[in-house]
Every structure is written in C-alpha cells, then in structure tokens.
Amino acid sequence: MKEPNIITSKNLTKIYGKNRSLDKVTLNIPRGSIYGLVGNNGAGKTTFLKILAGHIFPTSGEFTLFEANNPMDYNKVRQRCGCIIENPGFFPKMTAKQNLEYYRIQRGIPGKATVMKVLELTGLSQAYNKRFENMSLGMKQRLGLALALLGEPDLLILDEPINGLDPIGIVEFRNLLLKLNKEKHITILISSHILTELEHIATDFCLLSNGKVLEECTAEKLRENCHTYLSVKVENAKKYAALLEEKLHCTNYKIMPDNTIHIYDNSDNIKCYSELAATLDIGLLSFSKNEINLENYYMHLIGNSKEMI
C-alpha cells in the first residue's frame, strides 16, 4: 500500500513582478520516499522549496506539510524538517561545532553530544574546530547536511546539496541519504538540475520547467517512459509523419533535421512502424531501436529537441 503524502501542493504559484517562478504547481510527495525535484536553472525548484521552508510566501495556491495546511500550523511542523536551501548559511567566524551548537540551543535539542554525532555522521568530526569561513565548498555542504540532520528530522529538504562535493563525497552523500531513508525512514525531498545525479537514489520524480510541472511519476514509471525510442530514417520524413498520424494515430514523435523521425510511443511495436515505412514506399533508409537516458527524456519533455539525441 502506498504511504500517505507528506507534502502536497495544489496550484502553487509564485509571481515576482512579471515573472512566474511557479505556475500552478500541483504535486504529491509520498511519505518515506526520496523525491527528486528536477529542472534546469530557473525551473522553480528553489522557489518551491523556499515556500515549503517559509522563506517566501506563495502568491496563490496551497500546500500541506505533514498535517499542516495553514500558515498558523506550518511553523510547528517545520520543527520536524531539516533544510539546506541554496548555500548553507553559517556564521563565518565561528567553528563548525560552535555553529551547530548555536542551532542546537536555538531549537531546544537536548544533549551537547548531538552536535558531535551529526558531525561524525557527515564526516566532519576532524574539522569540528575549523572556522566556517576556512572550509572548502564540500565541507560547507556537509556542514549544511549536519545542520539539517540535527534534531533527527522526519523530512529533509535539500536544494542541490551535491554542488561542490568531490566524486567520493558524492558517493558518500548518496549512500548517507539512502541509509537515512532506509534505516530512519526519513523522507527526502532533493532538487537537482542534473537528472542523472538522482537517478540512483530517487524513488519518485517531478520534472519542472519554467515553473510548471512537466511530469510527476515514480522512478519505475520514469524509467519505463524513457526506456526506448525508435529512430526511423526515411527519404521523406514529412510524408512518413503524416502517415504515422493517419494510420497508426501516433503523435508522440519528433522530426530531426536529418530526416530521421524519433518515435516515443509504442516503441515495442516495431513491426507496425517498419511495415508502414516499407509498404508505402517512402524510402526507408534505416530503422533502429535506441535507449534514451533520463537526461534526454527530460530534454525531450521540455521540447529542446535539437540538443536531445
């Protein structure tokens, strides 16, 4: 049985001047999931996360965070969240330990040992005495995660947390997120502009572009959707496209500049497409079944066909 949603949003909109940063975003984040929010720069990922964290206010629409659905209750349930939004904010002259101690006191978390525990968990136990201003970008990101983990949250909201981490750090970070999700049942909402970054960890995805939801689906469904496509090279691509629509009612295709048609519907039904190309004598030059990765699928969704495949 599917877990109830920990976050739902309905027609959430944020307008800055004439710019619609979020445009009627409706999505559901299941409890216990690792939810990947994916979109290019300016897609509205950070805006959405900032609304959840209370940094900004929505222009219209509504959202539910845990069981809270009105501004009066949001602050209560935010105590159960850990957030890193944009760059982690700390006092530059204070050490890693002092910075975390500051927030531990502020949040009323008992036990001084908690701070060292989260530093250890994020691989910063050796650097506890290092000033924030002297830390590398990767260390700063880890400290941000340590802060988010302070107080054992039920929900982690992470905005592009992998930025600045080295390859080993990225792997460690992914493993840590998986561990937290599996062992502590923490729901993780994580954003990235690189879909493949989240490919191995996310259980659910939401693809955003220009403030709009392009698609919301589970990881399995996404993999299914972008599994294969047919590449058909013909002499007269326009004629073949017309026949696809007329005879096979297929509309999900793209004509590439070199007269190749990419068909995204029914990729398993190769026979129909090949027969159509052959029997009607439109000059079939090549025919192949190709894999499409998540990145390309996203590009296809946002209609950036030139750079797609």
Partner 1 sequence: MLNYIKSDLYRIFHSKGIYVFVTVCSLLLFAMNLINHIANLKIEGFLYGTTDFAFGMVTSSMSYILCIVALFSTVICGDDYKNRTINNSISFGISRKKIYGAKLITALLTSALSLVIILGVLIISGYILLEHSNTGELISLFTAVTACIPALICSLIACLTFYYIFGSVQTMIWGFLGVFVAFPMVISLLALKFHFFQQLNNWLIYSMVSYYSWDENENLVFLWNTTDGFFQLITAGIIGIVIFTIIGIFGIEKKEL
By CB under 8 A, name the binding residues for partner 1: 50, 53-57, 74-79, 81, 83, 85-94, 98, 101-103, 105-108, 147, 151, 157
Q: How far is the CB of 42 from partner 1 (least distance, A)?
A: 18
Of 72 and 168, the one with the shorter C-beta distance to partner 1 is: 72
Of 31 and 80, the one with the shorter C-beta distance to partner 1 is: 80
Amino acid at position 247, single letter: K
Element (H, E) at 298: helix 294-301
Secondary structure in 3-state letters for 58-96 = CCEEEEEECCECCHHHHHHHHCCEEEECCCCCCCCCCEH
Of 102 and 287, the one with the shorter C-beta distance to partner 1 is: 102
Of 36 and 58, the one with the shorter C-beta distance to partner 1 is: 58
Of 109 and 194, the one with the shorter C-beta distance to partner 1 is: 109
Q: How far is the CB of 86 from partner 1 (least distance, A)?
A: 7
Q: How far is the CB of 292 from partner 1 (least distance, A)?
A: 37
Of 99 and 181, the one with the shorter C-beta distance to partner 1 is: 99
Of 55 and 184, the one with the shorter C-beta distance to partner 1 is: 55
Buried b (16+ CB within 10 A) or exposed e, 56-65: bebeebebbb
Of 86 and 275, the one with the shorter C-beta distance to partner 1 is: 86
Structure-token match 């079944």, residue found? 289
Q: How far is the CB of 10 from partner 1 (least distance, A)?
A: 21
Between CA 70 and CA 110, with CA 31 as vertex, the angle to 5 degrees is 75
Residue 243, token pair as written in the block: 């026949």
Q: Is 233 helix (H, G, I), strand (E, B) or coil?
A: strand
Q: How far is the CB of 107 from partner 1 (least distance, A)?
A: 6
CB atoms within 10 A of CB 173: 21
Q: Are strands 228-234 and 204-209 parallel, antiparallel or unpaired?
A: unpaired
Buried b (16+ CB within 10 A) or exposed e, 275-301: ebbeeeebebeeeeeeebebbbbbbbe
CA gap 149, 18 in Å, rounded: 37
Q: How far is the CB of 22 from partner 1 (least distance, A)?
A: 14
Q: Could you report how far apart the first and last alpha carbons of the chain are, in Å? A: 37
Q: Is 17 helix (H, G, I), strand (E, B) or coil?
A: coil
Q: Is 202 helix (H, G, I), strand (E, B) or coil?
A: coil
Q: How far is the CB of 13 from partner 1 (least distance, A)?
A: 15
Q: How far is the CB of 75 from partner 1 (least distance, A)?
A: 4
